[in-house]
Amino acid sequence: MYKNCRLCPRDCGIDRTKYNGVCGASSKVKVALVSTHNFEEPCISGKKGSGTVFFSNCNLRCVYCQNFKISRNGYGKEISIKRLYEIFLEQQKRGVNNINLVTPTCYVDSIIKALKMAKSKGLNIPIVYNSSGYEKVETIKKLNGLIDVYLPDFKYATNRLSKKYSGVNNYVESAISSIFEMIRQVGKPVFNDEGIITKGVIIRHMILPNNVLNSKMVLKKIKEKFSEDALVSLMAQYFPAGEANKYPEINRKITKDELKEIEDYLIELDITNGYIQELGEHEEEYVPNFDLSNI
């Protein structure tokens, strides 16, 4: 898949065995952190934590990315597919609720191989595919039967915004079509006795400052297109990161009034399944320390 890379909607066609793709990734898997993460949605982290594997580089490359160090700057360590499947098994031994693949799109081919190898060696906890939502249906189809929980973002309601902040002009249609495929594969959310999700889709939306209308339009699209088939996670943890200081309108945190207006609209739409993140004072604390631990 990497020799003429068409894994994501950018369709760059670059031979990643020789050059880095637009995403910044080569054909070798690069990972920045393997950890037990306790700050995901309650049904993912629970009490035991989520077994996160943070992959370096990203196909969407948002200017405000809170993981800018690894997503845009490519910080991380290259590993083999064998090492990747060993990491999956090691995470399971730590007693986590799931394996959480964070920004995995650039490495889908390698992840498929590693998951198959790990499952043959006894990996049996849920696999979470945690992505920006900027996906190709054809790529998501390759994951059918390997992924239990999809955790896509739905960032933008218009491609004008996606072009401005993420450099792509086909985000909306890509997110919608890929989320439909995710739901088709895993169905409606299913939980175990401890309240941990074992199957299903959770659609995340992070509120951007000065973009209340965008959030309302995103929520309306979710209501219209995905109805009760997925959970919704409204995220208030935005803070200026990466190159956000180059865009004055998003160079601050969101306000209580912005969050309240969107919460009220959520109620108006009668979206009741999911989570609303509280507005904090130290949102930076949600960002992990990418120190190559456990790699």
Is 14 inside any structural domain? Answer: no
In a domain, 44, yes or no: yes
- Other C-beta atoms closer than 10 Å to the C-beta of 288 total 19
3-state secondary structure of 60: coil
pLDDT of residue 139: 98
Structural domain boundaries, residue 159: 29-286
Is residue 185 one of the residues assigned to a domain?
yes
Residue 45 is assigned to a structural domain of this protein: yes
Task: Give per-residue pLDDT as tens, 207-221.
Answer: 999 999 999 999 999
Tell me the CATH number at 99.
3.20.20.70
Name the average pLDDT for the chain. Answer: 97
What SS3 class is residue 250? helix
> Does 207 map to a domain?
yes
Q: For residue 105, what is the DSSP state?
A: G
257: in domain: yes
Phi then psi for residue 285, to 5 deg, are -70, -20
Q: How many domains does the chain have?
A: 1
- Domain for residue 291, yes or no? no
For residue 282, the tally of other CB atoms under 10 A from its CB is 8
For residue 280, pLDDT beyond 90: no
Report the pLDDT value the prediction gives residue 224, as an integer from 0 to 100: 96
Q: At 285, is the pLDDT very low, low, confident or very high (cuts 50, 70, 90)?
A: confident
Residue 5, in any domain of the structure: no
The first and second tokens of residue 20, run together, are 């880095």
